[in-house]
Structure 1
Amino acid sequence: MAELSLSPRALYEEVAELLRQRIFNRELTPGCWIDELKLAEEYGISRTPLREALKVLATEGLVTMKVRRGAYVTEVSDSDLADVYHLLALLESDAAGVVAAKATPEQLQELQTLHNELEKAVDKRDRFFEINEAFHTRLLEIANNRWRDQMVADLRKVMKLNRHNSLLKNGRIEESLAEHGALMAALKARDAAAAAQRMREHFNNGLQAAA
């Protein structure tokens, strides 16, 4: 294995990011035991920064610590997934309402540009995922509430643990694109209530596809 080059930032933070990406890439799958000794040897570090990194991931919900059994990649139950989607719908619908009411014309154009890119990426699944996430991230940035942003970021990490991403369902990408189009129409109409409703519907439909 190629030698890893760790950045000057806190070692445990760097290790946490390495493990986070391995979890998202399914190298460490939901329910699997995390072999601390093996990982510490692989990264060329002591177990102390590794354990600190696992604590970070446990706080994010990506790892579950079990007494006398160690750390495991979190398994997301149907109930967990429903709870995550419910909270995301509340938080992001609120953000959509704020954006409809307060965004500048330039900011709305940024979202429209991302939506246009989504339309071009319908047949490119990975690219669609990337732009979709960028759209939601930019909408939250425009709404400008860092506490909401942090909660959404943590919830989305847990959502990524789901083996059956909603956008993988046949026809879901096209449905999602149409929902984004309806959201954009409400945003451009400056209709805060409609924008919030369109975002709630978007997450409700996403949950049904992911279940």
Structure 2
Amino acid sequence: MNPARIAQTALYQEVAERLRQRIFSHELPPGTWIDEQALAIDYGISRTPLREALKVLASEGLVTLKPRRGCYVTEISERDLDEIFPLMAMLEGRCAYEAAQKAKADDLARLEGLHALLEKHAAAGDKERFFEANQEFHRAVQELADNRWLLQVIQDLRKVLKLTRLHSLSLEGRLQQSLDEHRAIMAGFKARDAARAEKAMHDHLLSGREALARIYAKEAADGAKSSAKAA
């Protein structure tokens, strides 16, 4: 084996992960031009591993390579969200179906523990902690489904969704609505009703898309009002 080649591979993967986290944190927001020369200097590397890292991120949909213009952080449009969320609803619904069939008593206890955190954070009105517990709940369901193909596609789509600058909990009343939806999901699991769990999860994802649409619509209306006043 060639040690130099192994080191080079590890390098571009590390660079990809660093850039991925900067994109997810919106340190590099959607639409940002990637200054390859500045990044190469900043990381103390040549442009070769950087370009390989950008190819990885492009394959994940996180950056867009534009001929003769360079590389940009991908911008997610309303159309993108309309296309992605139904896929997520279908895939995560299937995860819930398979998880409900495979879950053992201790698996259900784990889900109940995560759901208890959702109840706690909702009661406190803590949207950030609710969001984190929600993410953990979804990951747990995906693990219980134990379907690597489902997991791979879901993870790829969720990476792209991280490009959005808002999450649905920003909408007034969405926190309680989301909690009610999780109660329905848990009811399906407790009843060992795979079809019920699948539908509840499917509807939960689509409800999140509807909330985001209302947020963007409100922002657009507020922006139009501000422009009208300035004129």
Q: TM-score, normalised by structure 2?
A: 0.85
What does 1:1-211 correspond to in 2, within 5 Å?
A: 10-122=10-122, 123-211=125-213
Shift in Å, 1:200: 1.0
Distance 2:49 2:128 in 1: 33
Shift in Å, 1:98: 1.2
Higher helix share: 2
Any idea what the Cα deviations from partners look like across 1:59-79, whole Å, max 9, x if unmatched? 111101101111100011111
Contact 2:168 2:208 in 1 (8 A): yes
Computing the radius of gyration from Cα coordinates, the structure with the larger value is: 2
Any idea what the Cα deviations from partners look like across 1:143-200, whole Å, max 9, x if unmatched? 0011111110010011111123212212212211111111001111011111111011
Shift in Å, 1:85: 0.7
Distance 1:17 1:38 in 2: 17
What SS does the corresponding residue of 2:64 show, helix, strand or coil? Answer: strand
Matched residue type, 2:76: V
Any idea what the Cα deviations from partners look like across 1:118-157, whole Å, max 9, x if unmatched? 1112222222221111110110000001111111001001
Distance 1:48 1:8 in 2: 10
What SS does the corresponding residue of 1:134 show, helix, strand or coil? Answer: helix
Distance 1:121 1:41 in 2: 43
What SS does the corresponding residue of 1:56 show, helix, strand or coil? Answer: helix
Shift in Å, 1:8: 9.9
Unaligned 5+ segments in structure 2 are 1-6, 214-231
Report the identity percentage.
Answer: 56
Matched residue type, 2:82: A
Matched residue type, 2:133: I
Contact 2:12 2:50 in 1 (8 A): yes
Change (3 A) 1:135 1:9: farther
Distance 1:132 1:9 in 2: 34
Matched residue type, 1:18: R
C-alpha RMSD of matched pairs (Å): 1.5
Matched residue type, 1:162: T
Any idea what the Cα deviations from partners look like across 1:27-57, whole Å, max 9, x if unmatched? 1111111111111111111111111111111
Match in the other structure for 2:218: none
What SS does the corresponding residue of 1:121 show, helix, strand or coil? Answer: helix
Deviates more, 1:122-131 or 1:32-41: 122-131
